[in-house]
Amino acid sequence: MEKELRSVQIPEFTTVRDLSTILDVSPIDVIKELMNNGIMATINQQIDFDTAAIVAEEMGFEAHLPIPEVEATEEEEAQPLMVRLLAGENPEDLEPRPPVITLLGHVDHGKTSLLDIIRNTSVQEGEVGGITQHIGAYQVVHENKRITFLDTPGHEAFTAMRARGAQGADIAVLVVAADDGVMPQTREAISHARAAHVPIIVALNKIDKDNANPELVKQQLSDEGLVVEDWGGEVICVPVSARMQIGIDELLENILLVSEVQEFKANPNRPAVGVVVEGKMDRTRGPIATVLVHNGTLNTGDSFVIGEVYGHVRAMFDYRGQRIDSAPPSTPVQILGLSSVPNAGDRFEAVKDDRSARQIALGRATRQQQTARPVVDLTLEKLFEQFQTGKVQELNVIVKADVQGSIEPIVSSIEELSAGDIGVNMIHRGTGNISESDIMLAIASRAIVIGFNVTADTAARRQAESEGIEIRLYNIIYQIIDDVQKALTGMLEPQYADVATGHALVRAVFRVSRVGQVAGCYVTDGVIMRNTRVHVLRGGESIFSGQIASLKRFQEDVAEVRMGYECGIAIERFASFEEGDIIEGYRKERVS
Ligand code: GDP
């Protein structure tokens, strides 16, 4: 039986030594294998991919070249991703495609109601009676033109997609309740749409209400820099009522108008690329995903990869639950035939055949294991290096503060700072603690997050850590300005944080002559090292920090003790252990 080959990525050129590391074999074996193939090579000799692939195959691996990551330049990033996707296309191959719309706005301002009413009144004219399914997106036909709506309203979903490198939508409809006006999430939504460089159309909802005050809302919007047309600006504002079904046609008309101006296009005659809108496990049908095709056409039977997920389209359904065989650009389709459930926001790509799909997906999985690094690694200090190499010309900043009153001075002082060609770009400002939504926006816009007199939610902190986003917390305005200034001029002192290496629980306390007090401990996680610094934690707080004086297993001095083992620990100049104390080993690590 043919042996299953393990997938491995090998660069175009590599040395014998590096190849042996990649394959996790001895360099001698690699040299022997090369000799078997008539190639005499030394350990530091460079070999090309084809040669390396032969050796790899002999050793049970299937080699392929790394998939090039397309890194967008700053300039390109100022364009929506959908536009960038077309960069390699011949303009003659491009055809108009339906716009993809997302509804953003404050909670309870009527996003869901509007989505429902649009769906119910306008779904596929002439196909009345079809029961629409919630698959994460749907299409309507208005004046014989299609419009695609994303069904998950709110900027969190929109930005989560962008944070994963996918374009959320072409146009953002900002829903503002005419009786409630601009609220915190309205402001957030505006920032998120702006950061994504998508046009905004305002839907002024609930105009049926007695206390609706459209003029006041327009005033508030202009305070946010969204000047509506009848105030002399360029932002389209449509008064609507989801409840009374007022203004829905006008809203759709205006969406089509903006689309015409923007000329959304795609090449339908190429393999499909798109984004996952929703993924789930269905008890009878297995993993299912709703995919929105951005470019190309997806056909039943096409092989595809989505991150580390692969498969081929066994069947496709539209938002009415009807089976279809091909999905042109901007079409949302539910697909069956995936190896597992993908995440919303993951890139979808049709590929040549099942074999390539599998290889690419497995290659990504391997690479993911090899380089478990944060997706974005952005700190105030590192930015300076990027400024210097010309990779970044703008410092993107998100500011969260306790009260509105402190935001203005911070923002205006930061905006005044600029060093040479480098500008400071305020992506979002708001009151309240730093939330996950802020971090998503930071990831999507490569921004740093500054907090003034606020903290970061646990979830936000965790996410920032795993994604390599820097949160800087301050309670003195001057220090913010100072740090940003220093970052812009490369003067910022690195910051260090204590990183725990392991914990040991004190189970008993002894007195030992000449040593003093010794704690009989059990290492609960990580490792405790002889040369490490430790905190003594009691009731969750550090009551002492110092150096380990002795570390023993039974009577033996040891260099380290790992999780699951017992040991005796003495700490220099500390003699007040209590049972239940936790000894935390830590090292200082540079965080910026
Ligand atoms: P979302 O949180 O933005 O999705 O808001 P919803 O669509 O859930 O709407 C919040 C509330 O406002 C619900 O009770 C709706 O019935 C109500 N609502 C939505 N649109 C209108 C409208 O045009 N007029 C009135 N009077 N109420 C509305």
User: CB of 154 closer than 6 A to ligand 1?
Assistant: no
Cα–Cα distance measured from residue 464 to residue 442, given in angstroms and rounded to the nearest whole number: 9
In this structure, which residue's CA is closest to atom 18 in ligand 1? 110
pLDDT, position 416? 79
Kindly report the number of other CB atoms within 10 A of residue 546's CB atom: 13
Residue 472 parent element (H or E): strand 471-474
3.40.50.300, 3.40.1520.20, 2.40.128.110, 3.40.640.10: which CATH number matches 97-266? 3.40.50.300
Which residue(s) pair with 327 in the sheet?
A: 298
Distance CA 489, CA 199 (A): 34
Instruction: Report the separation in Å between the CA atom of 548 and the middle of ligand 1, taken as the mean of its atom positions.
Output: 62
Radius of gyration of the chain (CA): 29
Tokens 């749409």 belong to residue: 193
* Per-residue confidence (pLDDT) for residue 590, from 0 to 100: 60
* Contact status, residue 7 vs residue 366, Cβ threshold 8 Å: yes
CATH class of 273-371: mainly beta
Output the residue whose Cα is nearest ligand 1's atom 24: 206
Angle, helices 155-163/184-195, rounded to nearest 10 degrees: 30
Dig out the tokens for 253 from the structure.
Answer: 């008309």
Place of tokens 């540079």: 590
Q: Which atom of ligand 1 is nearest to the CA of 244?
A: 23
φ, ψ dihedrals at 24, nearest 5°:
60, 45
How high is the pLDDT of residue 327? 97
Tell me, what's the pLDDT at 540? 75
Q: Phi, psi at residue 564, to the nearest 5°?
A: 95, -5
Residue 205 Cβ contacting ligand 1 at under 6 Å: yes
Beta-carbon count within 10 A of 580 CB: 11
Sequence-distant (≥ 6) Cβ neighbours of residue 559 within 8 angstroms: 529, 530, 531, 551
Which pLDDT score is estimated for 283? 86
Q: Is 290 in the pocket of ligand 1 (CB under 6 A)?
A: no
Q: Which residue's alpha carbon is nearest to atom 19 within ligand 1?
A: 110
pTM above 0.85, yes or no: no
Distance 222 CA to ligand 1 centre (A): 24
CATH of the domain spanning 383-490, picked from 3.40.50.10050, 1.10.3720.10, 1.10.260.40, 3.40.80.10: 3.40.50.10050
CA of 208 to the centre of ligand 1 (A): 11
Q: Which fold has domain 496-590?
A: Elongation Factor Tu (Ef-tu); domain 3 (2.40.30)
- Neighbouring residues of 419: CB distance < 8 A, sequence distance ≥ 6: 387, 485, 488, 489
Residue 153 Cβ inside 6 Å of ligand 1? The answer reads yes
Cα 113 to averaged position of ligand 1 atoms, centre (Å)? 6
pLDDT number for residue 495:
59
Is ligand 1 within 6 A of the CB of residue 396?
Answer: no
Structure tokens at 424: 């400071």
The 10s digit of each residue's pLDDT in 95-109 is 999 999 999 999 999
209 lines ligand 1 (CB under 6 A): yes
Q: How far is CA 281 from the centre of its chain?
A: 22
Is the C-beta atom of 110 inside 6 A of ligand 1?
yes
- Please tell me the distance between residue 453's alpha carbon and the centre of ligand 1 in angstroms: 34
pLDDT reported for residue 125 = 46
Ligand 1 and 116: CB distance under 6 A? no
* Gap between the Cα atoms of 392 and 385, Å rounded: 9
Closest ligand 1 atom to 113 CA: 7
Predicted local confidence at residue 390, as pLDDT = 62
Distance of CA 244 to the CA centre of its chain: 38
Using the mean position of ligand 1's atoms as its centre, give its distance from the Cα of residue 200 in Å: 20
Cβ neighbours of 48 (radius 10 Å)? 12
CB under 8 Å to 139, separation ≥6 — which residues? Answer: 98, 123, 124, 146, 147, 148, 149, 318, 319, 330, 331, 332
> Residue 112: CB within 6 Å of ligand 1?
yes
Residue 577's nearest CA partner among 569, 585, 565 is 569
For residue 205, the CA-to-ligand 1 centroid distance in Å is 8
Contact 483, 500 (CB under 8 A): no
Give pLDDT, residue 148: 95
Nearest atom, ligand 1, residue 205 CA: 23
CB of 250 sitting under 6 A from ligand 1: no
Instruction: Calculate how far, in angstroms, residue 108's C-alpha sits from the geometric centre of ligand 1.
Output: 6
pLDDT of 159: 78
> What residues of the chain score a pLDDT lower than 50?
1-2, 68-77, 125-129, 371-375
Query: How far away, in angstroms, is 111 Cα from ligand 1 center?
Result: 7
Instruction: Give yes or no for residue 208 CB within 6 A of ligand 1.
Output: yes
Best mutation site among 103, 108, 204, 240 for ligand 1 pocket (most ligand atoms within 8 Å of CB): 108
- Return the SS3 of 118: helix
pLDDT in tens, 223-255: 999 999 999 999 999 999 999 999 999 999 999
134 C-alpha to ligand 1 centroid (Å)? 19
Residues 424 and 433: their CA atoms lie apart, in Å, by 22
The interaxial angle of helices 16-23 and 49-58, nearest 10 deg, is 40
Q: Is 113 close to ligand 1, i.e. is its CB under 6 Å away?
A: yes
